[in-house]
Amino acid sequence: MSYENFPESPENPESKETVTVKNNNGRNILTAILVIALLGTWGYIIFDRNKTRQEKQDLTTQIVNSDSAKNELQRELDDAALRLDALKTSNVKADSLLKTKDKDIEALQARVRSIIHDKNATASQLAEAKRLIAQLKGNIETYTAQIDSLTVANAQLTENNRVVTQQRDVAQKNYDSANVVIKQKEDVIDVGSTLHASAFSIEGIKEKKSGKEKATSTAKRVDKLKMSFVLDENRITQSGLKDVYVCISSPDGKPVAVDALGSGTFTTRDGATKTFTKKVTVNYVQGQKQTVNVEWSQNSTFQTGDYKVEIYNNGFKIGEGTVTLKKGGLFS
């Protein structure tokens, strides 16, 4: 191997210094860039960590605020539910009114509960729940006002009913009193209008073949009893047809009655059933005396003894008389 020696170039101090300065400047710039980059990286890392911490803090705050809002919404919902229950239990009319609204109220409450129990409920959903609760509260106020109005109206109606009932009771009492007085007067008039019989004439009659009649007191010769009496004047009794019952009792005390001849029964004023022998309808004229003639014949022979004749009108006995039929002699 051979070496060649070349002549060294003469040294230039200025050039060497310039190269050294340039090298130092390059290193300084590179160092500065690295430092800046490092600082930027650390700054980004610190910023990112701070941002993440802030986001976590914001999220925690949002969760806390959401839970707080949900708790507040739940409290308001519970308060509204309690007010509704209080309305139902305090007033029958309120319960009746609210029953017609139950479907709407339940739907509203169900929607609010679904939002409150939703872990991922958004702010808009919470706002919706708050709006619905406000609507529910407004409805409760409306119901309360309606119920108060109904209560006032009911109280007024109750008072009106009380006054009307009181007036009715007074009117009924007066009416009853008037009816009692009227009934008493009617009873007086009814009793007072009962006719009275007097001037009795009762005799046995024998009918001859010629058609002539002859009075007789012999029982076996009597064909009929002929009775006559006067209905005295009565200014209370109205003019018109009046029923007069003739009741004949035979000497043995038994009533004389033949159904085929019109006999029957009637009720006296004391409620007893009385057998009548014959009923006579009289066309009575108010305030005038009137004579009544009655005849009674029977298929059987008359008994000897006293025949008692009683006259009834309006359920009262108004007069009586007696006729005695004797047993005939040898030539009677």
pLDDT in the model for residue 290: 95
Instruction: Give the pLDDT mean for 32-42.
Output: 79
Read off the tokens for 278: 């014959």
Q: For residue 237, what is the DSSP state?
A: S
Query: Which phi and psi (to 5°) does residue 115 adopt?
Result: -70, -45
Cα 84 to Cα 98: distance, rounded to the nearest angstrom = 8
Instruction: Give the pLDDT mean for 178-188.
Output: 77
Domains of the chain: 16-192 (no CATH), 197-325 (2.60.40.1930)
Task: Give the helix, strand, coil percentages of the chain, each rounded to 5.
Answer: 55, 25, 25
Enter the pTM of the model.
0.51
At residue 16, does pLDDT exceed 80?
no
Q: Write the pLDDT tens digit of every residue in 48-58.
A: 777 766 766 66
Q: Write the pLDDT tens digit of every residue in 200-223.
A: 999 999 998 888 999 999 999 999
pLDDT in the model for residue 69: 75
Cα 320 to Cα 229: distance, rounded to the nearest angstrom = 9
Read off the tokens for 281: 């309808």
Cα 330 to Cα 332: distance, rounded to the nearest angstrom = 6
Q: Is 270 helix (H, G, I), strand (E, B) or coil?
A: coil
Q: What percent of the chain has pLDDT over 90?
A: 38
